[in-house]
Amino acid sequence: MSRDYYILNNGRISRKDNTIYFCDCEGNKRALPVEQVDSLQIYSEVDLNTKMINYISRYDIILNFYNYYGYYTGSFYPRKKNVSGFLNVAQAAFYLDYGERLYIAKSFIYSATHHILRNMRYYKVEQELIDLILMESYNLESAEDIQTVMGIEGRIRKTYYRSFNQILKNGYTFNKREKRPPKDPVNALISFGNSIMYTNVLKEIYKTQLDPTISFLHEPSTKRFSLSLDIAEIFKPLIIDPIIFSLINNKRLTKKDFMYEDEICYLSEEGKKKFLSEFENKMTTTIKHRKLNRKVSYRYFIRLECYKLIKHFIGDEKYKVLKAWW
């Protein structure tokens, strides 16, 4: 089974014969079995050559690049093979049909809200905060435009973030969401985790015939794969937030795992390793799927969401968004 490989040390990736190698700055060399590599997640300064890139393209290996602070900057994707003009036209038609677009956009927020409430109930936060989110979710049903849906989503998430101070332990507090830049450990963890979620969703979209630039909740734009942002709404509270709560509350992350520079807070190399290890454990965890009647990993749940959208676009089956039942 192919898997993601994370590179956090500076060095060079190159091809020799039918193998690719990573060699760090101290001369330590590691073979990366090309047939078992799904993607390379590069968090450090790494040299590449075209010989290696041409070779990994034959195996559909994706390169995702992250900046000094660990936030996503871009990707190398091999030439897309799963293409369908028919599906592209159908996907665009559902975007242009405002009623259809609104249904899909609402579906993403219904799922996100379900998983948010799941977290809040698990950690037994105040019922008052849960009731506020339930009230907003009721308003979602009558929303008649995307702007209203986005407004409801924003208020739900703001209320959800208020509950973090009831969830987090060991001296961690959370006052407000700050993205650019994150200024405290909790914001740093949210930004780091959401960045990973975005690239993993994009990777699963790439393996299907969906067009990642045609989205429904987030406005399609130039220079971004906005469908990834849409689908990530489902999985951020399901995957990323529980990882953050677990790492903090179980003291697997300490204050030493965070660094500060020019008012920017970010994870140290050791902190990134801890988060990425927990993320991989989560993504490979399997759940018995009620409809497929077999075990499915969290990673594959993302792919299944893509397939459900495809079926919706081609008129095969109405889209029913994921709501975790386990």
pLDDT score of 182: 93
pLDDT score of 180: 80
The annotation status of 218 as a binding-site residue, yes or no, is yes
pLDDT digits (tens, 9 = 90+) for 48-67: 988 889 999 999 999 999 99
Torsion angles phi and psi, residue 17, rounded to 5: 55, -125
Q: Is the separation of the CB atoms in 249 and 170 below 8 Å? A: yes
Say which DSSP state 80 is in: P
- Amino acid identity for residue 29 in this structure: K
Q: Which residues of 114-144 are buried (b: 16+ CB within 10 A; e: fewer)?
A: bbbbbbbeeeebeeebbebbeebbeebeebe
Question: How many residues would you count in the chain?
Answer: 326
Q: pTM for this structure?
A: 0.92
Mean pLDDT of all residues belonging to the chain: 93
Give CATH for domain 3-76. Answer: 3.100.10.20
The annotation status of 219 as a binding-site residue, yes or no, is no
pLDDT score of 35: 87
Pick from 196, 171, 186, 200: which is nearest to 266 by CA?
186
104 pLDDT band, cuts 50/70/90, is: very high
Class of domain 85-313: mainly alpha
> What is the token pair recorded at 199?
């690239």
- Amino acid identity for residue 65 in this structure: F
Q: How many beta carbons lie within 10 A of that of residue 208, not counting itself?
A: 17
pLDDT score of 222: 67
> What is the token pair recorded at 285?
């965890």
Q: CA 215 to CA 211: how far, in whole Å?
A: 9
Q: Residues of CATH 1.20.120.920 domain(s) within the chain?
A: 85-313
Q: Where are the beta strands (DSSP E) in 199-316?
A: 258-261, 264-267, 286-288, 295-297
The annotation status of 233 as a binding-site residue, yes or no, is yes
Q: Residues of CATH 3.100.10.20 domain(s) within the chain?
A: 3-76
Q: Which residues of 40-64 are buried (b: 16+ CB within 10 A; e: fewer)?
A: bbbbbebebeeebeebbeeebbbbb
- Please compute the mean of the pLDDT values over residues 288-307 and round it to a whole number: 95
Strand partners, 40: 5, 63
3-state SS class at 268: coil
Q: How many beta carbons lie within 10 A of that of residue 89, not counting itself?
A: 11
